[in-house]
């Protein structure tokens, strides 16, 4: 399978007309950089002298950022607390030209913040701040009523689950109803929320661990060659039957590329396009963003899988969580 240069350029040009809404868990990633010169006299831990501190949009926000850098228009939809961290996250997204008009701020919610202390290029500790027990019921109810208006001009939707409580059945049902009325594709990037009924989605992009977990099968310690791995193909078949995506199931397999599973057809292996792998952080976000952008632009599932694979190959060649730009994707595609 190979996209022709003319076809790939046609699809990339259409990315600019797409407006993708990302519904999911919003987070602020805070990085505290410093250096270590001594051990604390109070406990056997390093003393980090802080030299720099910065915030970055995290969670579902990174998917919307990928949409934006790929040339589409990304809009984020989720819940933030009426707090300083929420205000900082909205400011950062505005600077990156990601729309926050789908965001609901609520005084009973708390913005999730993940703070990483990094010294000498090593993470020393991560400190998480989030509401215990998830999102209060009244906040969930208010958000469900917020979804239809947030989707008003969307040409595609991503449901991005980070397991923080926002993506529950009522939210999924509201997204699918609105998407069906508009006849637009819906992508689902799962966590480990096995109880969700997502029948009606267009495509799902679980990684190997998520796929095995979702069907209750033990993941082998050593993965086999995808097209000879009968256990992997059985997981794909079971998960396809469970979720019934209308366009296909795209299993992401890290250095082994991807496996596209469609009803009644043999599984299709898409080998990795990465030249070098430095960091897989954020690769899943890039895959779902590219896939839904491509489907909204008129790509077939096979074409969307191939474009997503090339985009993932770009981001794993970078250090840290970094999106793929449309120019980088264009340069990575065969000529």
Amino acid 7: pLDDT: 94
Q: Which domain holds residue 173?
A: 5-27+59-112+132-332
> Is 215 inside a domain boundary?
yes
Closest-CA residue to 323 (of 69, 98, 16, 58): 69
Please give the mean pLDDT across all residues of the chain. 89
Condensed to tens digits (0 to 9), the pLDDT of residues 265-296 reads 888 888 876 555 443 445 788 999 999 999 99
> Is 54 inside a domain boundary?
no
Handedness of CA 139, 172, 305, 212 (dihedral sign): positive
> 239: phi > 0 → left, psi -120 to 50 → alpha, else beta; which?
alpha
What does the DSSP 8-state code read for residue 163?
S
If pLDDT is split at 50, 70 and 90, which confidence band does 334 have? confident
> Is 35 inside a domain boundary?
no
Amino acid 15: pLDDT: 97
Condensed to tens digits (0 to 9), the pLDDT of residues 216-242 reads 998 888 888 888 888 999 999 999 999
> Is 51 inside a domain boundary?
no
**What's the number of domains the chain is made of?**
1
> Is 102 inside a domain boundary?
yes
Amino acid 76: pLDDT: 96
Length of the chain: 335
Amino acid 275: pLDDT: 53
Domain of residue 90, CATH code: 3.40.1190.20
Q: What percent of the chain has pLDDT over 70?
A: 94
CA dihedral 175→179→180→181, nearest 10 degrees, is: 110
186-189 vs 203-204, strand pairing mode: parallel
> Is 118 inside a domain boundary?
no
Q: Is the pLDDT of residue 1 over 80?
A: no
Amino acid 278: pLDDT: 41
Active site residues: 285
Q: Is the pLDDT of residue 81 over 80?
A: yes
Q: How far apart are CA 84 and CA 87, in angstroms?
A: 5
Q: Which string of DSSP letters, residue by residue, matches 246-267?
A: SSEEEEE-GGG-EEEE-TTS--
Q: Determine which of 208-212, 233-237, 323-327 has the lowest per-residue pLDDT on average.
A: 323-327
Q: Is the pLDDT of residue 60 over 80?
A: yes
Mean pLDDT of the 54-60 span: 92
Q: Is the pLDDT of residue 321 over 70?
A: no
Q: How far apart are CA 191 and CA 135, in angstroms?
A: 17
Closest-CA residue to 204 (of 246, 144, 162, 256): 246
Mean pLDDT of the 3-9 span: 90
> Is 225 inside a domain boundary?
yes
pTM score of the predicted model: 0.90
> Is 224 inside a domain boundary?
yes
């Amino acid at each position: 399978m190979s996209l022709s240069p003319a076809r790939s350029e046609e699809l990339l040009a259409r990315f600019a007309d797409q407006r993708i809404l990302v519904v999911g868990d919003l987070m602020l990633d805070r990085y505290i950089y410093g250096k270590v010169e001594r051990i604390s006299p109070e406990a056997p831990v390093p003393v980090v002298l802080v030299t720099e501190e910065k915030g970055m949009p995290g969670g579902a926000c990174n998917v919307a950022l990928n949409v934006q850098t790929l040339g589409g228009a990304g809009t984020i939809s989720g819940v933030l607390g009426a707090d300083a961290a929420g205000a900082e996250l909205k400011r950062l997204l505005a600077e990156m030209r990601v729309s926050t008009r789908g965001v609901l701020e609520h005084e009973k919610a708390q913005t999730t913040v993940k703070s990483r202390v990094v010294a000498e290029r090593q993470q020393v500790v991560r400190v998480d701040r989030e509401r215990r027990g998830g999102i209060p019921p009244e906040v969930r109810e208010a958000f469900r009523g917020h979804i239809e208006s947030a989707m008003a001009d969307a040409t595609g939707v991503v449901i991005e689950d980070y397991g923080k409580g926002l993506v529950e059945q009522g939210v999924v049902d509201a997204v699918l109803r609105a998407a069906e009325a508009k006849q637009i594709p819906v992508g689902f990037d799962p966590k480990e929320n096995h109880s969700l009924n997502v029948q009606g989605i267009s495509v799902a992009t679980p990684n190997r661990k998520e796929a095995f977990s979702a069907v209750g099968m033990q993941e082998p310690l050593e993965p086999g060659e995808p097209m000879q791995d009968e256990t992997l193909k059985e997981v794909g078949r079971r998960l396809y039957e469970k979720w019934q995506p209308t366009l296909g199931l795209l299993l992401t397999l890290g250095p082994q590329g991807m496996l596209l599973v469609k009803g009644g057809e043999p599984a299709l292996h898409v080998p990795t396009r990465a030249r070098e792998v430095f960091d897989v952080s954020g690769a899943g976000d890039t895959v779902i963003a590219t896939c839904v952008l491509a489907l909204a632009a008129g790509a077939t599932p096979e074409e969307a899988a191939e474009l997503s694979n090339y985009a993932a190959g770009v981001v794993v060649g970078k250090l840290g969580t970094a999106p793929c730009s449309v120019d980088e994707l264009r340069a990575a595609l065969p000529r």
